[in-house]
Chain A
Amino acid sequence: MKILNIILSAFRALQRNKMRSFLTMLGIIIGVAAVIAMLAIGQGAEYSVKQQIAALGTNVLMVYPGAQQQAGVRSGAGSATTLTEDDALAISRECPAVQYISPGAFAGGQVIAGNLNWSTSIQGVGSDYLEIRQWLIEYGDFFTDQDIKAAAKVCILGKTVADNLFPDASPVDQTIRIRSVPFKVAGVLTKKGQNAMGQDQDDVILAPYTTVLRRLSHWPNLRFILVSATSLKDISAAQTQISELLRMRHKIQPYDADDFTIRNQTDLAATATATTQVLTILLASIASVSLLVGGIGIMNIMLVSVTERTREIGIRMSIGARSRDILTQFLIEALVLSLLGGITGIILGVVGSNVISSIAKWPTIITAFSIILSFGFSIAIGIFFGFYPARKAAMLNPIDALRYE
Chain B
Amino acid sequence: MIQNPTPSSPGTGGTLIQIEHLTKVYQLGEVDVHALRGVSVNVSKGEFVAIMGASGSGKSTFMNILGCLDKPTKGSYILEGIDVGKLSRDELAMIRNKKIGFVFQGFNLLSRTSALENVELPLFYGPTSNKVRKVKATEALERVGLGDRIHHYPNQLSGGQQQRVAIARSLVNDPSIILADEPTGNLDSRTSVEVMGIFQELNNNGITIILVTHEPDIAQFAKRHIVFRDGKIRADKVNSNPKIASEVIKDIPVIDEEEEAA
Residue numbers of A with Cβ under 8 A of B are 1-2, 5, 16, 311-312, 314-325, 398-399, 402
Contact of A320 among B98, B108, B112 (CB under 8 A): B98
B75-83, B89-97, B135-143: which one contacts chain A?
B89-97
Decide if B125 touches A312 in the complex (CB within 8 Å).
Answer: no
- Number of A-B residue pairs at CB separation under 8 A: 61
Complexed CA–CA distance, A320 and B98 (Å)? 8
- Determine the chain B residues whose CB is within 8 A of the CB of A322 once the complex forms: 89-90, 93-94, 125
- The 10 tightest CB contacts between A and B, nearest first, are A320-B97, A322-B93, A319-B122, A320-B125, A322-B90, A1-B124, A320-B96, A398-B69, A315-B108, A399-B69
The minimal Cβ–Cβ distance linking B181 to chain A, given in whole angstroms, is: 10
Taking CB as reference atom, which chain B residue is nearest A16?
Answer: B112
A321, closest chain B residue (CB)? B125
Q: Assess the A321–B93 pair: CB atoms within 8 A.
A: yes
Would B69 and A325 count as touching, CB distance under 8 A?
no
27 contacts between A and B (CB under 8 A): A1-B124, A2-B124, A2-B130, A312-B110, A315-B109, A315-B110, A316-B121, A316-B125, A317-B69, A318-B67, A319-B96, A319-B97, A319-B121, A320-B94, A320-B97, A320-B98, A320-B122, A320-B125, A321-B97, A321-B125, A322-B89, A322-B125, A323-B93, A399-B64, A399-B69, A399-B70, A402-B108
Asked whether, in the complex, the Cβ of A324 is within 8 Å of the Cβ of B121, the reply is no
Q: Which residues of chain A have C-beta atoms less than 8 A from B67's C-beta? A: 318
Residues A319 and B125 in contact, CB atoms below 8 Å apart: yes
B interface residue count range (under 10 / 10 to 19 / 20 to 34 / 35 or more): 20 to 34
Q: Provide the main secondary structure of the chain A interface.
A: helix
**A319 B102 Cβ-Cβ under 8 A:** yes
Alpha-carbon separation in the docked complex, A317 to B70 (Å): 12
Q: How far, in whole Å, are A354 and B148 apart by their CA atoms in the complex?
A: 55
Q: Do the beta carbons of A318 and B69 come within 8 Å of each other?
A: yes
CB distance from B139 to the nearest CB of A (A): 17
Interface string of B97-121 (1 = CB under 8 A from A): 1100010100011101000000001
Residues of chain B contacted by A311 (CB below 8 angstroms): 108
Q: Which residues on the B side are within 8 Å of A402 (C-beta)?
A: 69, 104, 108
- Tell me if B126 counts as interface (CB < 8 A to partner A): yes
